[in-house]
Chains A and B, each alone.
Chain A
Amino acid sequence: MTTIPAGGPVIRVRGLTKRYGDVQAVDGIDFDVAKGEIFGLLGPNGAGKTTTVEILEGLRQPDGGQVSVLGVDVSHDADAIKPRIGVSLQTAALYPKLTVTELIDLFRSFYPTSRSTKEVMDALELGERHDARSQDLSGGQRQRLAVALSLVNDPELVFLDEPTTGLDPAARRSLWDIVEGLKADGRSVLLTTHYMEEAEILCDRLAIMDHGRILEMGTVEQLVSKHFQERTVRFDRLDGLAREELERLPEVTSVKEDTNEVLMYTKDPGRTIGALLDLADSRGLEPQNLGIRRATLEDVFLDLTGRALRD
């Protein structure tokens, strides 16, 4: 076991591969997670995010590559990191008939040192439901409890696999606050998500994954500016304007369409919109919900993979 110097990465992955039968789930990825940062793995279902995280948690053996977590080679000494990490799986894995307090107490017993039940419960705002069985909790409360269980051992590094999938917007926001609180406490976080908004709001840095590979990595700022110097002009999809015509409008560098909307990437939104409205007017058409926005992660993903990352 080698200890990394202070300030070194808490996670270091090099050339990681994992195959299930015919499927290459993880296909040679490299990344580092720095101490105290929230790092996101963003990608659609089946991109290899969960497999990657489970290898880092010591739950699966990699086929190839090096994986070091908190300075420990996980593929050889997974037991050494388990007391120091917190884990929340894709679904809240809770004994359905045990109460909130009982589950926290149970998980506390697994660790040599642990925070008090009350402290964990208060931090996750579960106090008023301490006597409820986990099967009777709402989706958001279950997820908060799952995160609470990952924090009983006061971990240095927390893995959150799709922490907000299936939650309503309010519950999602409440969980985002909790994740930001983890960072404020000085913990490092690796989270996976397929929500662009979540990645943009929470992650200091992120890696975009698809088909087991990392397509791009960096801060949201870096990813967006690397792919798009332009602004985006968008409007609801409109029959009667051909894509080729839109591409010929002034300053337009590219056009993307899906079933709902049209996106025009442009260096000068003002000129482009003027020309667009003239063209539409000459056909007796009016673009709906016309707007200008900066490119987002969504645009980056679309640009990288040619498909949208919506559910």
Chain B
Amino acid sequence: MTPLLALTRANIRSYTRDRAALFWTLAFPLIFIFMFGFIFQGGNQSQLKLGWVDQDASPAATQLRQAFAAQTGTELTDAPKDDALAKMRQGDVDAVIVVPVGYGEGVTAGAAGSGGPTSILVFTDPSRSNLVASVYQAVGAVLGVVNLGGRPPLVVPQAETLQTENLTFISYFVPSMLGLSVMQVGIFAAIPLVADREKLILKRLAATPLKRWQLVGSNVLMRLLIALVQTVIIVGVGVAAFHVEITGSLLLALAFVALGAMAFLALGYVIASFAKTEEAANGMTSVVQFPMMFLSGTFFPIAAMPDFLQTVARLIPLTYLADALRQVMVGGAAFAPLYVCAAVLLAWLVGCFFVASRTFRWQ
């Protein structure tokens, strides 16, 4: 086995046998996700909120409205079309049904055997596929009664799509938590690094033919692997337990996870350069991680923060990692374009690498 792989395997073994490290990098984010997931799940999941737009104002349209209103777990909000769509975009209603002008006449004609089926418009957000399914379940149930099994059907739904901006809290939180975990896996590397230096392990390795790039490379490989495991676990729990919809490319998300992990690992090396003891490294990682945790939009959107804190948020690398992950994974609103996120993370990686390569002490 090559030195690089052998050392990577040794690192992984040391890591998996360290309960504290396992807790902080794997259990801690899950605890947060479950805690916030259950707190914010609320009642909105059971109730289907429909925006109702009646442009026809015919008795048939009123009948249809009554049929929808009679569905259990369905709540109707009447509004003009523009208002209803705006409400949906903001997340106040889950879907919008529009009964167009001529609906009444169309149904009457259809019942008399002349003309084809009449359409109603159903607006849903395809990125929330669970919701889409429940909307069409309700629509199907109602139209089944209206059509009375007639062939051809009197009324058919016409699917319309609308991109909503508002993510459910958990959809916002899961990619944010992934970003936070990746940050921790990177900067927490400082602690074993300083411990290994204190125990003279780094010095002992320097007395073998092992090269420094192999030592650093094994750390990078191990941390990337942990970040991958974190991604699988966090995304898996988000999808399985909280029905988070992953709308974008998981590969692109993984690329950001990898870039972020390396940038924060480089930051971990910078911390290890300045910390002389393991205790100091512990303290310094806390000092670095807590402001990032709370000011990077992990728990609430940056837009909701006061201006001066937004300025701080702009300087924090985690802001860009979490933002990129939300954009890619759940279609979250962009704080910065993806290429800017990638550029900022890359800049942190290069900058920290430069500082660490000049200041890191091997002995």
User: Which residues of chain A have C-beta atoms less than 8 A from B18's C-beta?
Assistant: 97
Please tell me if the beta carbons of A102 and B207 are within 8 angstroms of each other in the complex: no
Please tell me if the beta carbons of B201 and A59 are within 8 angstroms of each other in the complex: no
With A59-B203, A59-B363, A109-B1 known as contacts, the answer to whether A97 contacts B14 (CB < 8 A) is yes
14 new A-B contacts, CB < 8 A, other than A87-B204, A93-B203, are: A58-B207, A89-B204, A89-B207, A91-B200, A93-B201, A93-B204, A98-B13, A105-B6, A106-B10, A109-B1, A109-B5, A110-B205, A112-B209, A133-B17
Q: Is A231 positioned at the interface, with any CB of B under 8 Å from its CB? A: no
Q: Count A-B contacts at CB 8 Å.
A: 66
A285 and B280 alpha carbons, distance in the complex (Å): 60
With A98-B10, A106-B7 known as contacts, the answer to whether A79 contacts B209 (CB < 8 A) is yes
Please tell me if the beta carbons of A82 and B200 are within 8 angstroms of each other in the complex: no
Q: Quick one: which of A50-85 are within 8 Å of B by CB?
A: 57-59, 79, 82-83, 85
Please tell me if the beta carbons of B6 and A95 are within 8 angstroms of each other in the complex: no
Q: Is A107 positioned at the interface, with any CB of B under 8 Å from its CB? A: yes
Q: Which of B3, B206, B208 has the most CB of A within 10 A?
A: B208
A117 and B185 alpha carbons, distance in the complex (Å): 33
User: Which residues of chain A have C-beta atoms less than 8 A from B2's C-beta?
Assistant: 109
A68 and B206 alpha carbons, distance in the complex (Å): 19
- 13 A-B residue pairings within 8 Å (CB atoms): A57-B207, A59-B207, A87-B204, A87-B207, A93-B201, A95-B14, A95-B196, A97-B14, A97-B17, A102-B10, A105-B6, A109-B2, A110-B6
User: Which residues of chain B have C-beta atoms less than 8 A from A96's C-beta?
Assistant: 14, 199
Q: Is A94 positioned at the interface, with any CB of B under 8 Å from its CB? A: yes
- B residues with CB within 8 A of A: 1-3, 5-7, 10, 13-14, 17-18, 196, 199-201, 203-210, 363
Please tell me if the beta carbons of A95 and B208 are within 8 angstroms of each other in the complex: no
Please tell me if the beta carbons of A111 and B208 are within 8 angstroms of each other in the complex: yes
Query: Which 5 residue pairs of A and B lie closest in terms of their CB atoms, listed nearest first?
Result: A109-B6, A93-B204, A93-B200, A87-B207, A97-B17
A110 and B5 alpha carbons, distance in the complex (Å): 11
User: Which residues of chain A have C-beta atoms less than 8 A from B10's C-beta?
Assistant: 95, 98, 102, 106
Q: Quick one: which of A213-242 are within 8 Å of B by CB?
A: none
Looking at the assembled complex, report how far the CB atom of A308 sits from the nearest CB atom of chain B, in whole angstroms.
29
Please tell me if the beta carbons of A82 and B207 are within 8 angstroms of each other in the complex: yes
Q: Could you say which of B5, B199, B209 contacts A93, with CB atoms under 8 Å apart?
A: B199
Q: Which residue of A lies closest to B204 (CB)?
A: A93
Q: Which residue of A lies closest to B2 (CB)?
A: A109
A94 and B200 alpha carbons, distance in the complex (Å): 8
Looking at the assembled complex, report how far the CB atom of A132 sits from the nearest CB atom of chain B, in whole angstroms.
13
A157 and B193 alpha carbons, distance in the complex (Å): 29
Please tell me if the beta carbons of B200 and A89 are within 8 angstroms of each other in the complex: yes
User: Which residues of chain B have C-beta atoms less than 8 A from A58's C-beta?
Assistant: 207
Looking at the assembled complex, report how far the CB atom of A224 sits from the nearest CB atom of chain B, in whole angstroms.
34
Please tell me if the beta carbons of A106 and B6 are within 8 angstroms of each other in the complex: yes
With A89-B200, A94-B201 known as contacts, the answer to whether A110 contacts B14 (CB < 8 A) is no
Q: Which residue of B lies closest to A89 (CB)?
A: B200
Q: Could you say which of B3, B7, B203, B208 contacts A82, with CB atoms under 8 Å apart?
A: B208
A96 and B7 alpha carbons, distance in the complex (Å): 14
Q: Which residue of A lies closest to B196 (CB)?
A: A95
Q: Which residue of A lies closest to B202 (CB)?
A: A93
A107 and B208 alpha carbons, distance in the complex (Å): 8
Q: Which residue of A lies closest to B11 (CB)?
A: A95
Looking at the assembled complex, report how far the CB atom of B24 sits from the nearest CB atom of chain A, in whole angstroms.
16
Please tell me if the beta carbons of B13 and A102 are within 8 angstroms of each other in the complex: yes
Looking at the assembled complex, report how far the CB atom of B291 sits from the nearest CB atom of chain A, in whole angstroms.
31
Looking at the assembled complex, report how far the CB atom of A36 sits from the nearest CB atom of chain B, in whole angstroms.
22
Q: Quick one: which of A88-128 are within 8 Å of B by CB?
A: 89-91, 93-98, 102, 105-107, 109-112
Q: Which residue of A lies closest to B211 (CB)?
A: A79
Looking at the assembled complex, report how far the CB atom of A58 sits from the nearest CB atom of chain B, in whole angstroms.
7
Looking at the assembled complex, report how far the CB atom of B62 sits from the nearest CB atom of chain A, in whole angstroms.
72
Please tell me if the beta carbons of A98 and B1 are within 8 angstroms of each other in the complex: no
Looking at the assembled complex, report how far the CB atom of A157 sits from the nearest CB atom of chain B, in whole angstroms.
12
CB-CB contacts of A141-165 with B at 8 A, as 1s and 0s? 0000000010000000000000000
Looking at the assembled complex, report how far the CB atom of A21 sits from the nearest CB atom of chain B, in whole angstroms.
16
Looking at the assembled complex, report how far the CB atom of B352 sits from the nearest CB atom of chain A, in whole angstroms.
25
A3 and B340 alpha carbons, distance in the complex (Å): 57
Please tell me if the beta carbons of B3 and A110 are within 8 angstroms of each other in the complex: yes
User: Which residues of chain B have C-beta atoms less than 8 A from A109's C-beta?
Assistant: 1-3, 5-7
A79 and B214 alpha carbons, distance in the complex (Å): 15
A112 and B3 alpha carbons, distance in the complex (Å): 10
Q: Which residue of B lies closest to A84 (CB)?
A: B209
A94 and B207 alpha carbons, distance in the complex (Å): 13
Looking at the assembled complex, report how far the CB atom of A134 sits from the nearest CB atom of chain B, in whole angstroms.
10
User: Which residues of chain B have C-beta atoms less than 8 A from A107's C-beta?
Assistant: 208
Q: Which residue of A lies closest to B7 (CB)?
A: A106
